[in-house]
Amino acid sequence: MIKKLGIPKEVKKDEGRVSLIPEHITQFTGLADIFVETNAGLGSGFTDEDYQSAGAKIVPTAHELYDISEIICKVKEPQEQEFELLNSSHVIFGYLHLASNLSLTKMLIEKKLTAIATEMIMDEDEYPLLIPMSKIAGNLAVQKGMQFLEYSSAGKGLLLSSISDERNSKVTVIGCGEVGKSSIHKSIQIGAFVTAIDVNENILKELKNKYGENISTHISGSDEATEAIRTADLVVGAVLLPGRKPPIVVTQEDINQMEKGSVIVDVAIDQGGCVEGVTPNTHSEPFEIRNGVIVSAIANLPGAVPKTSSIELSTNLQKYVDNLLIENWFEEYSKSENLKPSLQIHSGLLLSEEVAESLSLSLSKLV
């Protein structure tokens, strides 16, 4: 039986990405009818005509797309204006980050639909759909930090990049996974001195061996780490616990001790944030100022570069869509060690241990 897969236009504020680009949907011919909401790809540089040429059918409204489609292939989690469009026959396939969103989780449970968090798909102990967005976010964290340090943004008026042999700017990166490593590499490339903070000594040793005198490393929670946070020009919070809320690694007291005009970019905001008291920002209102320190927590940071992000996302996402297009897809999906962690809600049941623990909800198991 041919499945019906819908690609909606993202409605999250300042979100221009699209889940699948035209060149990646042709492979599903014969397996699924592809429906694309009009202008869904426009923010990423793909027109309705591009999708039609690839074999998709363009529908004029979100209501019609959701009514027709069984599988809703999204970038970001459903927004409030989309809630009424969802029903129990839907399979939502996208970045959900439920561990920081109690109201969304409860709504998805009440709808009795199936919700698959693509950020939790695994392949040989890695998260192939999280890695490309993490690398983009790590680069953008430094790029945004450079912008916010400018005088016009109420920053301290410091050029993060080096124009001489003097390294006159300091970047502290907390959490050295894919986001952190990308931020570290970008910062060193432009000539900043970097301090890396992590709980894993082996990762810190690898970074020290790679970058030598351009980097210092400290174990998270140490006095040296605290000092590195408080004296930095730019702090990048890049802590990630897959599927769970991250710990608070930058406190309000840390912020109070920082020089006015310094910048903090919390890249962990999609999972709840790693800066004390942080609330999500948008690309159009990208930061708040606390005690003279700029704190930015843009929830969909890779959305700043939707064309780059959509191509990277679609390139990886396409490899997993066909798992939903076979007749007994749920039985096979739920038995796969790599795919099962992403199957978070089904028929009113919360199946994710990480989400249940983070939100203090009851965990269910499939029988």
β-partners of residue 197 are: 174, 218
Choose, from 90, 97, 185, 218, the residue flagged as catalytic: 97
Distance CA 120, CA 100 (A): 15
Supply the Cα-derived Rg of the chain in whole angstroms: 21
> What is residue 171's DSSP assignment?
E
For residue 362, CA distances in Å to 34, 88, 91 come to 36, 20, 21
Judge contact between 338 and 121, C-beta under 8 A: yes
Distance CA 40, CA 22 (A): 11
**Pairing label, strands 114-117, 343-346:** antiparallel
Q: Which two tokens stand for residue 215?
A: 């980097």
Among 170, 184, 179, which residue's Cα sits nearest to residue 238? 179
Q: Is 270 a catalytic residue?
A: yes
Other Cβ atoms within 10 Å of 21 Cβ, number: 24
Choose, from 33, 198, 266, 270, the residue flagged as catalytic: 270
- Burial pattern 175-196, b for ≥16 Cβ within 10 A else e, equals bbbbbbbbbbbbbbeebbbbbb
Distance CA 148, CA 298 (A): 13
Q: Is 123 a catalytic residue?
A: no
List the catalytic residues.
97, 270
